[in-house]
Amino acid sequence: MSSVFSVEQFELLFGKSHDAVFFMEKVNDDYRYIHVNEVAKKLINMEPTGKFVGQVVSPHIAKNILQNYNLTLQNCEQVDFEDYTYAEMEVRKQRTSTIPIIDEDKQYILAITKEVHLSRDMEDKYLFMRSVFFKSFLSTILISNEMFLIEADPKFADDFNLRPEIMKDKTIFDIPFVDEKTAPLLREYLQLAQKGENITSKMLHFIDKNGQIRHYSATFSSLTSNDEIFAVFIILQEITSFIKQGQALKTASHGLETFKNAISSVADVLFTSIDGTILDVNERVLKNTGYQRDELIGHNHRIFNSGHHEPEFFVKLWDTIKNGNIWRGEVCNRKKNGDIYWMDMTIIPLKNMQGEIEQFLSIHYNISSEKRLMSELYKIEQTFRAITENTNDFIVITNQSGKIKYASPSYTRKLGYRSDELIGLPYESLLTSDSIDTWRNVIEQPQHSAIQEQKIELQLRSKFNGDIWTEGNYTISLELMEQEVAEIVMVSREITERKELETRLTYLAYHDSLTQLGNRRKLYKEFPIIEERAKISQSSIAIFYLDGDNFKRVNDQYGHDVGDEFLKCFGQSIVGSVRHDDLVIRLGGDEFLIVVTGLSLEEFERMEQIQHIIDRIKTQLAIGWEINNIHFSPTITIGISIFPDHSSSLDELIDLADQALYEAKQKSRNSFRLCQESQLK
């Protein structure tokens, strides 16, 4: 209880006042209400006695009030200030006088608030609008009827170097920040707004102080007093990053077109609908099949069917690609004139943003010559050697136990072996450990049929230059009398680049391009495996939903390059803070997710484990890192959900962790919050 006023004294002094009167004691960084009169209770629509300012009013209003209270005590003199509130669709303006009271070692504030009738002149309305937008992510400028730039919010003014001495006696069109193409549009929009028209979502371009073009979406509102328009208030939302993303997409599309043209120069390329209708073909298809374009477009791909393959062959092909997988194999096709030809065919499902298959891309390489070569190997050895000596394909003949009888010069040129080193050598000695079992399955088959042909991928060990991936066909020939394996003939081509590309594409599909952390697709792929391990080991899993505290400020203050490097360092710091078996995912922006494994099923022990992990993360972040000689040591807020306590569904666990994160941020930054029972469905 205050020694300055008793309840009776306060009521005697201010109980009959028409103004709202508040008497408060300073406690740490806040102020506690001790006495308020009835008018004050009606103003804030509650009984605040015993509570703090931060508990009674919204954060953005509390911030302004506390600043003025602190100024009152700091200067030890009365402070008068005005503020605006927005309640029940009505703008209200108050004028408050604050009086400092010092009693021994305690500090008090006596605040008297009068409600001011909101005048309808341009200044008051603008001040209210400015108070709403000046500290938001939006930018604002005020233009007079004479096209003078009256004021701009501080950030916009700094970005575009709009100093008072530059703006003085100049119209907005005399200031160099207005782009040439924007100027006539801006003049048109201002003139329409001056007539009272509502202008929204208009694209404007401005030149900042660094000479860079910045793009904005603009809304124009007129300010009136006594039914007369005095000025135009413009609200701007920057969309520069979205424009750049669109330009990057165009560049990527151009690269895809270049890639398509490169393929078209060496292979037959067809696009078909999901039911096999031909949508487009390149010139090589027309040249190699003898058809005209109008004879193929709109017709089913079956037009090339030679009848060589059994129906089950195409059933398996369609099952593969309709499930979104790439199919590759050899297909016997028929030209328009009836000639048969063999194709090494790759069919790739093309998906839209929703993951739905829209088209199929077929890439065909004519392999008829290789097929003919395989059949003639058994007839004319000299012809075989004349051809194989000049091919880049890997051609090998082994006996029934896999020892090399013949190896084409490609093995010497590309693997570094001499011909005399290869003859009699077990073929598996040329293979990497991962491919040895694949080869042994070939030579150890219990039953064989004559001229059996199969496809195989093997990785060869080079003597000097690393490993080489090959893909080929092998044929097992039998001794006709004994029906035993006579020899194995295999023709392969190098696919190292394709394998590396497949590996790279797989990596890109499951990792974030900026931080190299796993992405959402990686999360959904790995979680079922993590879940199964947890069930077997009888342990629990925690989903940590991380949100960086004020990470946007890094971009705003230091630029996107530093911002990108900041996110990379942040991701590395998180990875270094958790265990090898834990999974770190970047969801996007400054939002990350950690799947923490191997936690106890017992709640108290698990909470100790979680606290230990969070402490490690915070310690690592506190150490921080440097970028361009700038030291960063950021903080994060974390929401946590537990498998299986809260849910067994990954989507629900993420959603619950997100909700817990939201509640943690509402309470305070640099904290964490565990999913509560009230959040569970």
pLDDT at position 88 is 41
Other CB atoms closer than 10 Å to residue 384's CB: what's the count? 20
Q: Is the pLDDT of residue 154 over 50?
A: yes
Contacts 24+ apart (CB under 8 A), 397-401: 397/487, 397/488, 397/489, 397/490, 398/427, 398/443, 398/487, 398/488, 398/490, 399/487, 399/488, 400/443, 400/484, 400/485, 400/486, 400/487, 400/488, 401/426, 401/443
pLDDT at position 484 is 67
**Count of residues in the chain:** 681
Q: List the beta bridge partners of residue 586.
A: 592
Q: Which residues of 640-677 are buried (b: 16+ CB within 10 A; e: fewer)?
A: bbbbebbbeebebbbbbbbbbbbbbbeeeeebbbbbee
pLDDT at position 620 is 93
Q: Is the pLDDT of residue 447 over 90?
A: no
Q: Which of 111-115, 439-443, 590-594 has the lowest mean pLDDT?
A: 439-443
Percent of the chain surpassing pLDDT 70: 84
Strands 540-548 and 591-599 come out as antiparallel
Residue 322 identity: K
Q: Is the pLDDT of residue 655 over 70?
A: yes
pLDDT at position 640 is 95
- Residue 20 pLDDT grade (very low, low, confident, very high; cuts 50, 70, 90): very high
- Tens digit of each residue's pLDDT (9 = 90 or more) over 25-44: 999 999 999 999 999 998 88
Most confident of 81-90, 283-292, 417-426, 455-464: 283-292
pLDDT at position 1 is 44
Q: What is the mean pLDDT of the chain?
A: 83
Helix 368-376 to helix 381-388 angle (10° resolution) is 140
Are the CB atoms for 31 and 53 separated by under 8 Å? Answer: yes
Average pLDDT over residues 565-586: 93
Q: What is the CA radius of gyration of the chain?
A: 38
Are the CB atoms for 567 and 515 separated by under 8 Å? Answer: yes
Residues in contact with 161: Cβ distance below 8 Å, sequence separation at least 6, in sequence order: 177, 208, 209
Q: Which of 27-41, 110-124, 133-147 has the lowest mean pLDDT?
A: 110-124
Average pLDDT over residues 552-581: 91
User: Of 108, 17, 93, which Cα lies nearest the Cα of 61?
Assistant: 93
* Top-confidence residue, 481 or 409: 409
- Residue 292 pLDDT grade (very low, low, confident, very high; cuts 50, 70, 90): very high
pLDDT at position 375 is 63
* Top-confidence residue, 159 or 260: 159
d(CA 345, CA 327): 8
Q: Is the pLDDT of residue 120 over 60?
A: no
Percent of the chain surpassing pLDDT 90: 33
Q: Which residues of 40-56 are buried (b: 16+ CB within 10 A; e: fewer)?
A: beebbeeebeeebbeeb
Q: What is the pTM of this model?
A: 0.37
pLDDT at position 521 is 93
pLDDT at position 119 is 47
| DSSP 8-state assignment for residue 266 | T
- Residue 136 pLDDT grade (very low, low, confident, very high; cuts 50, 70, 90): low
